[in-house]
């Protein structure tokens, strides 16, 4: 992670910069701090034919708590997703509602597969926003994840 972003105390911002880990493979699986495997799992659970297999379900963004920062972060994320990705391209890959744009995703808090090159592409397209968010030392409503 670039020195100008340090120190950082927000997992969201660490996650934004995972692709910068030295010697990180092109295909990797990110396990959050409270996620782990308890049995053998096949590689095709996470990747099939070079594509990440995500266990995602579209959902509306909402919060039960009045001062929760997390829904703001999800809204920031979905704005960038809708700017860069067409919902039509995901036909058959996610359970979705009938709205033309993505409305949010249910956070299943599971291990997630990633391709390093895809993260780099997103950084190239959204460098200004991702760079700005990476300067936040603690979780804020302006973060991206």
pLDDT digits (tens, 9 = 90+) for 63-112: 777 778 888 888 999 999 999 888 877 665 555 556 778 888 877 778 88
Tell me how far apart the alpha carbons of residues 70 and 3 are, in angstroms, rounded to a whole number.
Answer: 26
Q: CA-CA distance, 38 to 108, in Å (whole number)? A: 17
pTM to 2 decimal places = 0.81
Helix (H, G, I), strand (E, B) or coil at 48: strand
pLDDT at residue 94, as a whole number:
57
pLDDT value, residue 77: 92
| Predicted local distance difference test score (pLDDT) of residue 61 | 82
């Amino acid at each position: 992670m670039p020195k100008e972003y340090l120190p950082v105390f927000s997992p969201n911002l660490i996650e934004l910069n995972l692709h910068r880990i030295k010697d990180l493979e092109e295909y990797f699986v990110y396990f959050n701090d409270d996620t782990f495997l308890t049995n053998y799992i096949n590689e095709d659970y996470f990747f099939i034919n070079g594509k990440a297999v995500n266990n995602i379900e579209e959902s509306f963004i909402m919060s039960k708590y009045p001062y929760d920062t997390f829904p703001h972060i999800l809204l920031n994320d979905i704005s960038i997703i809708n700017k860069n990705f067409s919902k039509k391209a995901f036909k058959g890959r996610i359970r979705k509602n009938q709205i033309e744009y993505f409305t949010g995703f249910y956070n299943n808090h599971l291990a997630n597969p990633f391709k390093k090159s895809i993260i780099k592409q997103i950084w190239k397209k959204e460098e200004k926003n991702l760079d700005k968010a990476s300067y936040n030392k603690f979780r804020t409503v302006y973060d991206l994840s």
